[in-house]
Amino acid sequence: MKTTAAHPLEYRADEADYFARQGEHGKAAYRRAVEATTGSTPTWAKRGKPGRKRRTSDPFLSRASGDY
């Protein structure tokens, strides 16, 4: 039987409550920050349905280099 370790924030009720109080953009920012720092998100922070793919580069940085 395969067992996987739970996410470090999985059982933190205070974090789940904070996440639940956020708006759409706040939840997106929270997911992005947690995924960047821990590599994944807790189950209570997963999206209901998949979102669009993240861009590989920042469009503003590419404009600065002259690639329009």
Tens of pLDDT, residue by residue over 28-45, are 999 999 999 999 999 999
- Contact yes or no for 39/31 (Cβ under 8 A): no
Which of 67 and 25 is assigned the larger pLDDT? 25
Q: Which two tokens stand for residue 66?
A: 């002259």
Which of 64 and 8 is assigned the larger pLDDT? 8
d(CA 50, CA 31): 13
pTM higher than 0.85: no
Residue 58 has a pLDDT of 62
